[in-house]
Amino acid sequence: MKLKKIASSEITPEHIYNDRRNFIKKLGLILGSTALSAFTNKSFAALYTLPSFAQAKEGEKEKLTSLKDITSYNNYYEFGSSKSDPYEYAEKLNIDPWSISIEGSVKKPLKLDFDELIKEMPLEEHIYRLRCVEGWSMVIPWVGIPLHALLKKVSLNGNAKYVEFVSLKRPNEMIGQKIDILDWPYTEGLRLDEAMHPLTILAVGLYGKVLPKQNGAPIRLVVPWKYGFKSIKAITKIRLVEKMPISSWMKANPKEYGFYSNVNPKVDHLRWSQTTERRVGESLLSPRLKTQMFNGYHEEVAHLYQGMDLNKNF
Amino acid sequence: MKINQIYIKRLIFVVSLWPVLSLSLAIFLNNLGANPIEFIERHFGKWSLIFLCLTLGMTPLRKITHMNQWILYRRMLGLFTFFYVTVHLLCYIGLDYHFAWIDIKDDIIKHRYVLVGFSGWLLLLPLAITSSDEMKRKLKSNWKRLHRLIYLIAILGVLHFAWLVKKDITEPLIYASIIFILFLLRLNIFKWKNFKKI
């Protein structure tokens, strides 16, 4: 009997990605045995898909961006301003041990070791579009913790209106920080209701593997309806605050980068077109895609901004 | 033109095709990275600026080396500049935007980096058209005046790059400094002795 030849189209990253058991094993090996049980018990309980993804006909499904592209084309200025710098230099960052503290307007401030965090929190798989303000996009299968689940643990007090996220400053390991391109450490912020939204996650993995360092290991924010720079990488601190925090990009260029930075094809950017985007990994001849309101998550998040002038609150 | 100058000119012509060759190689080896269209656009953009600097460098070189022959290569380098800027523009229009003219128009109007880049190309057009000896003769002293536009074009080219970059403008600044030095050399800030005019 002749063996069937596997078409090259079948050997896709999705293939690897679907190989859950293998993944769990690998991930467990990397994270240690304690984490393994957490992953096997709780992981993938919920399988989120792109909103228009599940309903789409087979042929219309949005293709996942390849692991290679996701891990070699990054904006992560802590390691340099070229897209290939993070791939090259992020390895130097020491992420073990890593802890994350949740403080500010909370009743029970908390400092969690990363391993503890993984053990205690539910891990879910979320496939999200990521739209960069520069006009390119990807589709990424994240593994993450819903942020609201973590915030519930510290019981917020009534003053908390915003959430500020802080990364870290370690110029010896993050060589891009030797130049003051931004005010290091990188900071970002969300309104409390945005932070509590079920789509908002803290990602710890992608494509079923532990998050690569160039993608923000060990833990990063993912807010899929906002431009990519809002999704701060390598988080060390989450601070509940009363006043709107000023993010690194707002400080650097307040005219171009607003607090909300929602993906919005109707609000143009000074530099790049926001009406269309180029999907990374598509062939040389494929056209740009129309950028969707809130990056296609309109149904889920539009109510957060009802009655707001999005031209002013950009 | 002397025999050796003809050979040098041919050699420069062949070497000037390097950007086309290196890109073809990268395409062949599938080395364009995650965003191949951006790669190609940047590739030709970068080489346009390099050729612009080379073109602007010929007159100062003539003065510094007291060798008139540099001026013989200036036109060719200038035409290569025009060639690479045009290819850069065509990549943007065809590859990137698939000839979606309305989107392109909006992009030019709304985004200052596109606007200055496009203006730069427009200003290069008359220079390319009037580059022949015949046109030079016809235009007489106006030719020189017209071709001074290249300084403005150089500024537009660097601005185009600087305004595209999100934050780190190191690279555009390198081009800006090179062009600035070339400007100073042209302004005769340094006095040239024993300089013969051709």
Print burial letters for A133-167: b (CB count within 10 Å at least 16), e (below 16). bbbbbbbbbbbbbbbebbbeebebeeebebbbbbb
- Residue B15 has a pLDDT of 96
Least confident of A22-36, A127-141, A201-215, A242-256: A22-36
Per-residue pLDDT, averaged over A84-99, amounts to 96
Question: What is the distance in angstroms between the Cα of B95 and the nearest Cα belonging to chain A?
Answer: 7
Q: What is the tens place of the pLDDT at every residue in B39-77?
A: 999 999 999 999 999 999 998 888 888 888 888 899 999
The pLDDT of residue A5 is above 50: no
- Strand locations in B8-53 (E): none
Select the residue of B98, B106, B170 nearest A287 (Cβ to Cβ): B98
Number of domains in chain A: 1
State the DSSP H helix or E strand holding residue A276, giving kind and residue range, or none if neither.
strand A276-279
Whether A161 and A221 have beta carbons less than 8 Å apart is answered as no
More confident residue, B1 or A3: B1
- Residue B191 has a pLDDT of 56
Whether B89 and B145 have beta carbons less than 8 Å apart is answered as no
pTM (2 d.p.): 0.84
Q: In whole angstroms, what is the distance from residue A148 CA to residue A243 CA?
A: 19
- The DSSP symbol for A183 reads -
Q: Using 50, 70 and 90 to split pLDDT, how confident is the model at B192?
A: low
- Residue A51 has a pLDDT of 42
Q: Is A77 part of the contact surface with chain B (CB cutoff 8 Å)?
A: yes
Q: Is A271 part of the contact surface with chain B (CB cutoff 8 Å)?
A: yes
- Residue B195 has a pLDDT of 52
Q: Is A61 part of the contact surface with chain B (CB cutoff 8 Å)?
A: no
- Residue A4 domain-assigned? no
Per-residue pLDDT, averaged over B65-91, amounts to 94
ipTM over 0.90: no
Q: In whole angstroms, what is the distance from residue A94 CA to residue A114 CA?
A: 13
- Residue A141 domain-assigned? yes
Per-residue pLDDT, averaged over A79-92, amounts to 95
- Residue A225 domain-assigned? yes
Per DSSP bridges, beta strands A289-290 and A124-131 are unpaired
The pLDDT of residue A222 is above 70: yes
Spell out the residues 6+ positions from residue B131 whose beta carbon is closer than 8 angstroms to its own: B75, B78, B79
Range of the domain at A73: 11-305
Select the residue of A134, A253, A284 nearest B36 (Cβ to Cβ): A284
Reduced to 3 states (helix: H, G, I; strand: E, B; else coil), residue A136 is: strand
Q: What is the tens place of the pLDDT at every residue in A160-177?
A: 999 999 999 999 999 999
- Residue A5 domain-assigned? no
Q: What is the tens place of the pLDDT at every residue in B123-151?
A: 999 999 999 999 999 998 999 999 999 99
Spell out the residues 6+ positions from residue B16 whose beta carbon is closer than 8 angstroms to its own: B51, B76, B77, B80
- Residue A110 domain-assigned? yes
Q: What is the mean pLDDT of chain A?
A: 84
Q: In whole angstroms, what is the distance from residue A304 CA to residue A312 CA?
A: 15
**8 Å CB contact of A271 and B167:** no
The pLDDT of residue A39 is above 60: no
- Residue A33 has a pLDDT of 36
Per-residue pLDDT, averaged over A231-252, amounts to 97
Q: Using 50, 70 and 90 to split pLDDT, how confident is the model at B167?
A: confident
Question: What is the distance in angstroms between the Cα of A68 and the nearest Cα belonging to chain B?
Answer: 8
- CA A6 centroid distance within chain: 34
- Residue A310 domain-assigned? no
Q: Is A227 part of the contact surface with chain B (CB cutoff 8 Å)?
A: no
Spell out the residues 6+ positions from residue B116 whose beta carbon is closer than 8 angstroms to its own: B156, B159, B160, B163
CATH of the domain at A152: 3.90.420.10
Select the residue of A81, A83, A273 nearest B111 (Cβ to Cβ): A273
Domain residue limits, chain B? 3-186
Per-residue pLDDT, averaged over B144-162, amounts to 95
* Interface probe, candidates B167, B170, B171, chain A, greatest A C-beta count within 10 A: B167
Reduced to 3 states (helix: H, G, I; strand: E, B; else coil), residue A113 is: strand
The pLDDT of residue A17 is above 50: no
